Amino acid sequence: MKVLLANPRGFCAGVNMAIRCLEEVIRRVGTKVYVYHEIVHNRNVVNRFSDQGVTFVESVEQIPIGSILVFSAHGVSPEIRRVARDRKLQTIDATCPLVTKVHLETIRFANQGYSIILIGHEGHDEVIGTMGEAPESITLVGTLDDVAELKFTSSDKIACLTQTTLSVAETAVIVQALRQRYPQIELPGKEDICYATTNRQEAVRLLIESSDVLIVLGSQNSSNSRRLMETGAAKGVPSYLVDDSSELQLDWFHDAQTVVVTAGASAPEVVVQECVDFLRHHFSATVSEEMLKHENVEFPLPRELQMLIAE
């Protein structure tokens, strides 16, 4: 067996920043810290912090007044920020700057009187936060059927934004349908799907052509990880999304000559290497690191954390 190890894979700049942020809070003030939602959508990462004593909550009202609260990488709505202020929480915003970009675009378009069509997955933390910026102005679509049901006219002011972790190919189809139906539609100057999502999907598309199986390391609630799995499946290649090597099944690899291994943007490298070790142990696999694009993006720690560090 030959293993093609996709690169780029794993942590993106936004995930790195969020995890470093939470680690630094712990280092400075201990583990009596609260995080709204999962810091990133990865079970192994969340369990590691939970084991240290960090508390992840789904409601800001659960947090004792005056506590330290970290906002996750996926961003939050203005209403959540308001509740946090009312409870006198010391907040540290670990939102990915590329998600913040979409929030700012939402505010700008809404203030200019546009109706905003947001392409995304209903219920995803990022989508909930974005829609919270201008709920009266946003319509969520996720499929071509949703586009067909839109009631806007050719004279309406319409703008289109997207969740940052979508399938590049599927989103392009939806955007094209929107442009055909509403030629006047406005899009942001730079697309909203983030560089890491795009790069990881492109790496899989290039490697999958010569492979028998695709393994994606990532959690089931990770949007960008699921899109990687779907990229392989769309090519007819058996594709599996797993948190770690404990979920791998030997019969997946029956007669497999070439296996592509990659990781979603919130999956730690340690689980990738454990997967590779599994394939080496059971199938005497050789490993080829396939560098398809270099990434050198870094995001600074949140200003609030820098102030906390300085105290």
As a whole number, the mean pLDDT across the chain is 96
In a domain, 186, yes or no: no
Domain count, the chain: 3
Q: Starting from the edge strand earliest in sequence, which strands make up the sheet with 258-263, in order?
A: 239-242, 213-217, 258-263, 2-7, 286-291
Question: Of 62, 34, 64, which is closest to residue 50 (Cα–Cα)?
Answer: 34
- Same-domain check for residues 68 and 106: no
- Same-domain check for residues 81 and 20: yes
Q: Starting from the edge strand earliest in sequence, which strands make up the sheet with 138-141, in order?
A: 138-141, 115-119, 158-162
**Is there a cis peptide before residue 135, judged by omega within 30 degrees of 0?**
no
Please check whether residue 72 is in contact with residue 37, taking contact to mean a CB–CB distance below 8 angstroms.
yes
In a domain, 188, yes or no: no
- Same-domain check for residues 286 and 214: yes
Could you tell me the residue range of the domain that residue 238 belongs to? 2-11+195-291
- Same-domain check for residues 53 and 68: yes
In this structure, what token pair is assigned to residue 41?
Answer: 């959508």
- Same-domain check for residues 280 and 246: yes
In a domain, 156, yes or no: yes
pLDDT at 310 over 70: no
In this structure, what token pair is assigned to residue 111?
Answer: 């203030």
List, for residues 179-236, the tens digit of each pLDDT value.
999 999 999 888 899 999 999 999 999 999 989 999 999 999 999 999 999 999 999 9
Whether the model pTM is above 0.85: yes
Largest CA distance in the chain: 63
List, for residues 38-86, the tens digit of each pLDDT value.
999 999 999 999 999 999 999 999 999 999 999 999 999 999 999 999 9
Q: How confident is the model at residue 153 (pLDDT cuts 50, 70, 90)?
A: very high
Q: How far, in Å, CA of 206 to CA of 231, rounded?
A: 11
- Same-domain check for residues 171 and 103: yes
Choose one of 181, 215, 249: the last residue of a domain: 181
Q: DSSP secondary structure string, 128-193?
A: HHHHTTSTTTEEEE-SHHHHHT----TTS-EEEEE-TTS-HHHHHHHHHHHHHH-TT-B--SS-SS
Q: 3-state DSSP: the chain helix, strand, coil percent, rounded to 5?
A: 45, 20, 40
Choose one of 148, 181, 214: the last residue of a domain: 181
Q: How far, in Å, CA of 114 to CA of 112, rounded?
A: 6
Choose one of 181, 206, 224: the last residue of a domain: 181
In a domain, 248, yes or no: yes
- Same-domain check for residues 287 and 199: yes
For the beta carbon of residue 242, count every other beta carbon within 10 angstroms: 21
- Same-domain check for residues 245 and 276: yes
List, for residues 86-115, the tens digit of each pLDDT value.
999 999 999 999 999 999 999 999 999 999
Question: Which residues carry out catalysis?
Answer: 126
Residue 228 maps to which CATH number? Answer: 3.40.1010.20
For residue 55, the cross-strand partners are: 34
In a domain, 187, yes or no: no
Residue 35 maps to which CATH number? Answer: 3.40.50.11270
In a domain, 107, yes or no: yes
3-state secondary structure 186-218: ECCCCCCCCHHHHHHHHHHHHHHCCCCEEEEEC
- Same-domain check for residues 169 and 213: no
- Same-domain check for residues 224 and 276: yes
- Same-domain check for residues 29 and 104: no
In a domain, 92, yes or no: yes
Alpha carbon dihedral 129, 193, 234, 249, in 10-degree steps, equals -60
- Same-domain check for residues 106 and 92: no
Q: How far, in Å, CA of 115 to CA of 107, rounded?
A: 11
pLDDT at 261 over 50: yes
What confidence score (pLDDT) does residue 191 get? 85
